[in-house]
Amino acid sequence: MTVEGRVLIIDDHEEIRAVLRELLALEDLDVEEAGNGVDGLAVARDRLPGVILLDLSMPGLSGMEVLEQLKGDPATAASRVIVLTGHGDIECEEALDAGAEECLQKPFEAPLLLELIERLLAPDRR
């Protein structure tokens, strides 16, 4: 069972995690973060976030590999994933096909991200 209001940021760039953390804190969301895919999977399994913000371009375990493992694990499959990418539409299509709910290309507008998170955390979404 996921925890509504809990958001996990998985991104290897500290600066991006900091910006996202500050933005989400303004919305009174419980924010967790991980700097790589391996740690992200561990946090997701331990904390069961309602929404995961996942960067696809990470060294080591890629974001796509993380997404596939999240969706393949019954413990984390219910977490909704918003993919954040600096690449094109093809990468977004692949992520959506792999189970991501949304895909945003960087740079994106903060209000759009917040709207997506709010929609995915809405109780009637289940």
The region that residue 9 occupies, defined by phi over 0 for left and psi between -120 and 50 for alpha, beta otherwise, is beta
Looking at the DSSP bridge assignments, the partners of residue 32 are 8
Quick: pLDDT tens for 44-95.
999 999 999 999 999 899 999 999 999 999 999 999 999 999 887 889 999 9
Output the pLDDT for position 125.
45
Averaged pLDDT of the chain: 91
Output the pLDDT for position 18.
96
Flag whether pLDDT at 102 surpasses 50: yes
pTM of the full structure: 0.93
d(CA 109, CA 126): 26
Strand 80-85, strand 49-55: pairing: parallel
Domain layout of the chain by residue ranges: 3-121
d(CA 98, CA 113): 20
SS3 9: strand
Q: Which CATH number fits domain 3-121: 3.30.70.580, 3.40.50.2300, 1.10.274.10, 2.40.128.110?
A: 3.40.50.2300
